[in-house]
Structure 1
Amino acid sequence: MNHTPKAFIVMSFDQEFKSIYEQLITPALEGAGYRVSRADSSLDQQNILRDIVRNIAEAKLVVAEITVQNPNVYYELGLCHALGIPTVLIAQSMEKVPFDLRSYRVLTYSTQFDEVNKLKEALLEIGIANLKGTITFGSPVTDFLSNERINQPREVATLIAAPQSSLVSELDDRNELGILDFLVEGNEIATDLAGIMQRIGEQIVEFNGKLNKNTDLINSLPKDGSPGVAARAREIAAGYAKDMETLSAFIDSEISGYDKSIDALVEVFSGYMSWLTVRGQEALTELQNSRNSMKDLLESTRKGLLGTRAFRESISSTRGISGDVSRSGRHLGKSLDRLISSMERIESFSLKTFTSMDEQLNQSGDPTSG
C-alpha cells in the first residue's frame, strides 16, 4: 500500500489547463512529497463522480483551479470544504474569484514566461507546510458551523479514506494559545499591513504631486505651435512615464509582503475565532471588542478601496498622451489591479469575520450586535 500523501487537483478539463497541471502544479507538489492526480487521470472512467469523491476524501491536500467559472469545479470545491480537506485555491486573476471565497487561501498566478515559476514556488511552500502541520485552511464550513457539526462530514470522510486532514489538530493547537497570544500576533500583523498601505499611500501622494507639476508645465507651454514646443511636451511626458514606472515597481515590491500579511491575518483570526467559540460566554466581552475592531477594519478597507479604484481610473485616462505614457500606464494599472485584489481579500475576510462575530453575539443575546 502506498503511504505517500495524496494531492488531488480540481480543475477544468479545458486543454489550456493541461500544461498548467503537468508543468506547474504536478512538479511543485511532487517536490513537496505528494502523489498528484486529477479526475481525468483516474484509472476508472466509468464512474468519474465516485472517483472524484474518493480522491477528495483521500487527499492530504486539494488544489482547486477556479479561473474558469466551471460548475463542476465549484461542486467539487464544495465537497472539499464540506469534508474538511485542506484546500488552496488558484486563479489567474482575483477578479475570477467569487467575493465570498476571496478571504481564503488564494494564489493568483500568471502564465507569462518570467512569472510562471512563482506558482510552483508558492505551491511547494504550501505543500511542505501542510505536511508539517504549520498552516491552516479556512472555509465557510469551518467559519460558520459549530465544531460538532463540522465533525460530522469528517466522520463520513473517515469512512471513505484513512483520516489524513491536519485541520482538526491544527485548530486544537491554536486553541491552546491564550488571548494575549492572539492579540499580540494580530496587532503585529495589523501594524505590518498599515505600514505597507501607508508607504504606498505616501508614494501615490508624491506621484500626484509630480503629476500636477508636469500638468502645470504642459499647460504653460505656448499654444501657438512655436518651435520646440512639441519636443518639450514629449520630454515632460517621458518624465511622467518614468514616474509611473517608479510607482509601479514600488507597489510590486510591497504587494508580496502585503499578501503574506493577509494570509497571516486570516490564520491568526481563524485560531482566534476557534478560541472564542471554545470559551463561549466567558469570551463575550472580548468578542464584542473584536467585533468593533473588525468593523473598523472593514470600513477603513472599503474607504481605501474607493480611493485606490479612483486613482486606477485616473491612470486609465492617461492613455493616448504618448507611447511612453501608455505603456507605463498599463504597467502601473496592472500593479494597481493587484493591489486592489489584495485589498478586496481583506474586505471579504473582514466582512465574513464581522458577520460571524455578529452571529455569535446574536446567539448569546447581546443587544449591541447587528
Structure 2
Amino acid sequence: MIASQTLRQESDQPRRCFVVGPIGDPHAAHGSLEREAYEHHLGIFEQVIAPACEKYGITAVRADGIAHAGDINEQICRHVVESDLVVADVSGGNPNVMYELGLRHITGKPTIHIGEAGQLPFDIASIRTIRYQRTRSHQAGARKEIESALAVGIRDGFELLTPARVLRGLQIGDGAASASDVGDGGTGEDDDAPGLLDDFAVIEDGLDEMTADMEAITKTIETIGTLTEQSGTEMLDLAQANAPMSARLASVARYAETISTPAGELGTVAAAFAERMATLDSGVRAALALIEMTPPDERGEGAEEFLEQLMTMNEAAQDSLVQIGSFGVSAGAMVKLSRHLRKPVKEISAGVKQLTSAITRMGEWAAKARALANGATA
C-alpha cells in the first residue's frame, strides 16, 4: 500500500499530506464529464483520504485548497516535494498526476497510491495500490486501508520505493544514501549513473523539437519575405509604367498564390509549436522548481545544461519575435489590397499570434533559468 521496496525512512510522524490526483472543473455545466470528475474526486478526498489522515493528526490538502497567492505550478511542486506524506490518486493515468508522482518518487518520502478499480495505469501496475470502487462501502474500505497503512508506517517507519525512474544523483534526506549509491552498491563510484535531469529526457526532446520548429518558422518567414519583396518590386514597376489596374490585380493574385503554400506551412508549424509549448510548460516549470530546491553543488552538469538550453532557446526566439511582429503588421496591411490575399494573410496572422504567445511563455522559462544560473555562480 505504501510505495515501497528498498529504502527505509526513519522520521517523525507526518503532519502534512498533499493529495495528488485529478480535480476536474467545479465551474463546468452540471452533468458534464468535467463536473462529474470534480464531484467524484472531491468525494474521494473528503470521504476517504482526509478522514484517514485526520485520524492520525495529519492535515490533508489538494491543489485547489492551497490558500497562498503565487505561481500555482511552483506551489504544487513545493507541496509535492516538501510534504511529509503524499497520497496520489492514479485513476486514469492523468499526465499531470503521473508527472507529479514522478517528482515525489525523487524525494524518497512516503507516498500512498490509490486508484479506482479498472482505471489503473499500466506503467505503475507493479506498485501496490489501494483500490476503490464508486460505492460507499468500497470507499469506506479504502479509507480503512489508508488508515492501516498510516498506522504501520508511523509505528515501524515508512518503507520507500526506489523506482527505476528515480533521478539518481539527488540526495534522499540528510545523510541517507543517494539513489546513485544504491545503484552501485553504496560505493558512489558509478561514473555512468544518470545525473539530476536524465529523467527529464522527454522534456529535453520536446525542447529540441521546439528548436527545430523555430528553425522551420524562420525559413518560412524568410521565404514569404523574399516573395513579398519580389512582388513589391513588380508592383512598383507596374505603377511606374502606369499599367492598368487589371495588370496590378493579376500581379497581386500571382503573389497570393505563391505565398499560399508557405503561409499554410507557417500556420501548421506555429500551431505545432504552440501545442508543444502548452504540453511542456508544466513540466519545464516543475523541473525548474526542482532545480531551485536542489543545492547548486548537487545539481550536476545536466541541470546547468538544461538552464543554458532554456536561455539559448529564448535568445533565438526573441530575435525571431521581432521579425515575426513586424511581419504580422505588414501582413495585416496586405489584406486590404485584394480578396486573393485574405486566406494566406489570415493563416499568417494566426501563426504570428500563436508564436507571440508561446515565445512570451518561453521568456518566462528563461528568466527563471537565468535567476537560478546566476544564483549558482554568485
* 1:80 corresponds to: 64
Q: Distance in 2 between matches of 1:202 and 1:171?
A: 38
Note if 1:267 corresponds to 2:283.
Answer: yes
Letter of the structure 1 residue corresponding to residue 350 of structure 2 = K
* 1:176 corresponds to: 166
Q: Distance in 1 between matches of 2:252 and 2:336?
A: 11
Letter of the structure 2 residue corresponding to residue 170 of structure 1 = G
* 1:318 corresponds to: 334
Letter of the structure 1 residue corresponding to residue 365 of structure 2 = F
Cα displacement (A) at 1:167: 5.8
Unmatched segments (≥5 aa) in structure 1: 12-16, 43-52, 60-77, 85-99, 102-137
- Aligned 8 A contact 2:253 2:340 in 1: yes
Letter of the structure 2 residue corresponding to residue 82 of structure 1 = I
Note if 1:340 corresponds to 2:341.
Answer: no
* 2:190 corresponds to: none
Out of 210-219 and 343-352, give the one that drifted further.
Answer: 343-352
* 2:177 corresponds to: none
* 2:214 corresponds to: 197
Structure label with greater radius of gyration: 2
Q: How many residues align?
A: 252
**CA spacing shift, 1:225–1:295, aligned 2, 3 Å:** closer
Note if 1:302 corresponds to 2:234.
Answer: no
Q: Distance in 2 between matches of 1:261 and 1:303?
A: 20
RMSD in angstroms over aligned alpha carbons?
4.3
Letter of the structure 1 residue corresponding to residue 234 of structure 2 = L
Cα displacement (A) at 1:310: 1.6
Q: Distance in 2 between matches of 1:311 and 1:280?
A: 42
Note if 1:140 corresponds to 2:156.
Answer: no
Cα displacement (A) at 1:205: 0.8
Letter of the structure 2 residue corresponding to residue 80 of structure 1 = D
- Aligned 8 A contact 1:316 1:329 in 2: yes
Q: Distance in 1 between matches of 2:239 and 2:270?
A: 42
* 1:109 corresponds to: none
Q: Distance in 2 between matches of 1:307 and 1:144?
A: 38
Deviations 1:150-187 (A, max 9, x none): x27x87xx7xx989865652213466133262475454
Deviations 1:237-275 (A, max 9, x none): 112223443233212322343245432475266347536
Aligned counterpart for 1:8 among listed residues 18, 24, 37: 24
Cα displacement (A) at 1:222: 4.8
Matches within 5 A, 1:7-86: 7-11=23-27, 26=32, 35-37=36-38, 80=64, 82=66
* 1:241 corresponds to: 256
The structure whose residues are more often helix, as a share, is 1
Unmatched segments (≥5 aa) in structure 2: 1-20, 48-61, 92-96, 107-164, 168-193
- Aligned 8 A contact 2:235 2:251 in 1: yes
Letter of the structure 2 residue corresponding to residue 176 of structure 1 = V
Identity of aligned residues (%): 11
Cα displacement (A) at 1:327: 4.6
Q: Distance in 1 between matches of 2:301 and 2:198?
A: 17
Length-normalised TM-score, structure 2? 0.53
Note if 1:351 corresponds to 2:367.
Answer: yes
Q: Distance in 1 between matches of 2:367 and 2:353?
A: 21
Letter of the structure 2 residue corresponding to residue 192 of structure 1 = E
